[in-house]
Amino acid sequence: GVVVNRATGRTVRAVLPVHLYGHPVDLDAFLDVAARWPVALVEDSAESLGARYKGRAVGVAGLAGCLSFNGNKIVTAGGGGMLLTNDAAVAERARSLTTHARADATEWIHREVGYNYRLTNLQAALGVAQLEQLGAFVEAKRRTADAYAAAVAAFEGVEPFVEQPWARSTYWMFSVLLDPRRFGAAREVVRAANADGIGFRPLWYPLHRQPVFAGRQAYRIEIADDLHARGVSLPCSVGITPEERARVVAFLADARR
């Protein structure tokens, strides 16, 4: 059998939960769908390498998981990423497509179009060295998150994103919601911080607002719009110093009305 979208008539082949900002998605509902129906579960773990859901690493619950080694991620190889899977056929297919889809190991014979998506040897060496430090990187991120949470607890109008009991977050980003009555528009706070040399960032632009997805189906978009309107991410690199954190907190304190 197949799963069909009633509105479009198109076949639904996969569900793609996204583990945002280092915090796992509550996967149970997705796992239930994948178990009951012929729909693959593919986890977008690009931002959450090292995070855990109910004690288990994210990215390995379904057919596949996707990691990013972009320069801003907790582990970087300067770019590129990784596909995780326990399915040997999926792994072999991915290897083939990422190495030109060569049909023969010694000759350049192609029966289909392939791609050059390989990490270079230098990137791979850098990535392995970074992975060896993942535990230390996560602990550094969590210490920064604890410090920020303690500092802003007394600030009226600042609501940190909270780690859920079933999750262990890497806090790739430490994000908060700002009450516009106390801070005005979040985008103005971001601009002011950046002008002061402090790297605040807005939350990701909602997908249903992206021009490329105009007219696509979207659900509960009012929640995404509210989070985007009020949310900001604070500087939280692995190497951030206590003095730099204090400057961030002082800026937030001064930004209140």
The total of other beta-carbon atoms located within 10 Å of residue 232's CB is: 22
Same domain, 104 and 214: no
Which pLDDT score is estimated for 40? 97
Top pLDDT among 154 and 246 is at: 246
Averaged pLDDT for residues 95-119? 90
Q: What is the pLDDT of residues 225-234, one digit of tens each?
A: 999 999 999 9
Question: Does residue 26 contact residue 52 with C-beta atoms inside 8 Å?
Answer: no
Averaged pLDDT for residues 146-157? 96
Residue 118 has pLDDT above 90, yes or no: no
Q: Which domain holds residue 206?
A: 134-255
Same domain, 163 and 247: yes
Which pLDDT score is estimated for 103? 86
Which pLDDT score is estimated for 104? 82
Averaged pLDDT for residues 77-104? 94
CATH code of the domain containing 102: 3.40.640.10
Residue 105 has pLDDT above 80, yes or no: no
| Total domains, the chain | 2
Q: What single DSSP character describes residue 63?
A: S
The reported pTM is: 0.92
CATH code of the domain containing 243: 3.90.1150.10
User: In terms of C-beta density within 10 A (0-12 exposed, 13-18 middle, 19 or more buried), how is residue 212 classed?
Assistant: exposed
Which pLDDT score is estimated for 5? 92
Q: Give the C-alpha separation, 186 to 116, whole Å.
A: 41
Same domain, 36 and 82: yes
Averaged pLDDT for residues 190-198? 98
Cα angle, residue 246 at apex, residues 240 and 247 outer, rounded to 5°: 90
Q: Which two tokens stand for residue 45?
A: 């773990």
Q: What is the pLDDT of residues 159-180, one digit of tens each?
A: 999 999 999 999 999 999 999 9
Which pLDDT score is estimated for 132? 98
